[in-house]
Structure 1
């Protein structure tokens, strides 16, 4: 089904470009083209509302279930603590590389798209981005209010506290945690249903964009995708280099073993699809089943390196496309915000759109900017999902090494082939 969805999205994107180009040629008048694009974009607006609908429930249920199932406090303090040190560091590095590269490459700078009429007077307000206000805003004064208003940062804070309390309560909270975990599966199903509408939304997004702005905008998309994949390549090099510094030649073995899960994640645009094979391959490193079963699922919620890089890249691309200047201080605050709000996001196809949509709203950037990246998001999701797999493979092996496990399996035929290829 996921392979079919990928094909459908590709077809929908091509059809959207064709329809948009035809409309642009038939109605060259800018005002008329804009009106037609507005009608077409109604479909994508509905899709955006559906995405916003699942933000609160998705963050709360997935994060509570993940934290509550980390294990007893000793395990959390030892293995969990070591894993989180890696996850937080890797997340910061991913976000930072994305922020640096998007500022250097400026993929959205040449677009100069006018702000949507309803948001023309909004913009980015510097007074709302001080560190003091950021910290104060992170703590909710009402958990229900945070969920009702889709205050993602506040939901994350409450969900972490709730999950830790549930884990500490032990068997007394077993039924409650089970219900929340079941609810998280239901929310993931809803997310899947919403994302199944992506081909229709992609068609409308591309048709509306090309109708209003002409086919020339596709060159900017090409620059955007090339810039993102070049940045991902740099992130891959950094991850493997750090892994080699800690694991030695075992890092190369990990890279070799996770090739199959890497390809699965790339072709399906979902790192979750690669999860079963990831467990089997990591046990061949060898990493103990205890470490794999604990750290890997934790990484799927807290260590989404590719998705995190994409978050900074997409948000800054949208700001550049609308010609909105964001200061260095504001970008740092945005980085810290994304560092927190992206935690607990399930590794589902195009799940990063949820984070980007929430960040745009939180930082008063035009919500319609999500439509600019939606048309090519499938191709970017393939790269970031594969990056998530590589990052979690290295992270799990590093934590095993820190736990004193012998992850050096010695030389194998596969290792010799890898060395010869190098």
Structure 2
């Protein structure tokens, strides 16, 4: 009796496996959001301080895990990224790419701040509200350094390079990283061992972050739960105009402006962009940290066809200077909100000051605290009364966790979009990679190496 021949196993499509993992991860994060909100609401209604404390502890641990990786990640990413530009055509090409990147940073910031002003004026944010700041929030404001141009310039260059890293001064670390990156680029082979060490550290930090990111469903449960337990429904309803305005403006930038630029400038389908960037945008939303999202943002840019060397330069640079959410649209809306709260009518020149700060001041924001420096810088530039500034800041800092989610997602969207636009203009965008399904960054397999595509197997036209 003859047996039927064994049927060969059907290989699993990597794209389908990647899509399943993305789906499962997204559902897990959504479940964390819902469960966290329910637990936070229960803690608020029952006065269960132990539950609020537990949720807060979970959120704080997750945030701390993310934050401790930011400084080494930003430094090594910029050093390696600057040196990776070597394979793109020499110093002139590298300088041209850097110039175009900064130009697009400014253009998109201008668009974002104008949208923020329009939404703030049309929505009348802050009108009719009579909220007094709590003593705790006033103390928070008093303990924080306001943003002004002298503070930014004085804080740019560290007096001690060790202190810059030890104290987590992200802007100073960026300055040092760019300086060292350019120096190692100029030294060439002499600095190759140092660059190799930075590349190894960069890969190690990305691996560690990949493990941390998988804890996002648990982390967001704690973060969202604590927010609901602290603020409850009253907080949401009384400040609905500000929350709605920020989310509407951010949605216009993220889902209208960026897709239009991608379609008509980058010649990239918005559907392809969002399909490949959704994991990064989702994680940015729940983590509220552009720095923590950096590995996902960079790999997403690579998956969209951006040269890995250029992505390793532009995305880390954008993480600290490209903040359309925190540094452009939000300061505009929050300034209008505070002015309306105190019955102050802003002049044309004050609105011009808001635009000026958004376009040029955004280059001086840093890490996850850039919104505060940018908002105080904006308020001080247009000359609002000190009591209005202090009270307004005390109010908005109380609801910052809710606002920061969409702001950070918008930041990250812009940090991915600009490298795509610049790459297309330079003829560096790899359309074969762009249209190839790819695994979610850091959720399935290692990230793309830093090797320039020019050194890989040539892609047929």
Question: TM-score normalised to the size of structure 1?
Answer: 0.68
Q: Who is 2:401 aligned against?
A: 373
SS at match of 1:70: helix
Shift of 1:163: 0.8
Q: Who is 2:421 aligned against?
A: 394
1:90 partnered with 2:117: no
Q: Note the 1:10-409 alignment, pairs <5 A.
A: 10-27=30-47, 37=52, 40-71=55-86, 75-77=90-92, 79-106=93-120, 109=126, 114=133, 117=136, 120=139, 122-123=141-142, 129-215=147-233, 217=235, 220=240, 224-236=246-258, 239=261, 243=265, 254-256=267-269, 259-267=271-279, 269=281, 270-275=296-301, 277-279=303-305, 292=307, 294-302=309-317, 308-312=323-327, 316=331, 336=360, 338-341=362-365, 355-357=367-369, 360=372, 369=397, 372-373=400-401, 377=405, 388-400=415-427
CA contact (8 A) 1:315 1:356 kept: no
CA contact (8 A) 1:304 1:391 kept: no
The 2-side partners of 1:145 and 1:232 are apart by 36
The 2-side partners of 1:117 and 1:23 are apart by 21
The 1-side partners of 2:329 and 2:130 are apart by 14
SS at match of 2:90: helix
The 1-side partners of 2:198 and 2:189 are apart by 15
CA contact (8 A) 1:65 1:177 kept: yes
CA contact (8 A) 2:41 2:229 kept: yes
SS at match of 2:219: helix
Count residues in correspondence: 361
SS at match of 2:224: helix
Shift of 1:313: 5.9
The structure with the larger Rg is: 2
Question: TM-score normalised to the size of structure 2?
Answer: 0.63
SS at match of 2:42: helix
Change (3 A) 1:72 1:4: closer
SS at match of 2:323: helix
The 2-side partners of 1:48 and 1:371 are apart by 18
Deviation per CA, 1:226-273: give whole Å up to 9, x if none: 331123245326635873xxxxxxx5xx224x7434312125534445
Change (3 A) 1:236 1:111: farther
SS at match of 1:215: helix
The 2-side partners of 1:89 and 1:61 are apart by 24
Q: Who is 2:445 aligned against?
A: none
Shift of 1:91: 1.0
Change (3 A) 1:370 1:100: farther
Shift of 1:295: 3.9
Change (3 A) 1:82 1:122: same
RMSD value, Cα: 4.5
The 2-side partners of 1:333 and 1:302 are apart by 19
Shift of 1:147: 0.6
CA contact (8 A) 2:80 2:199 kept: yes
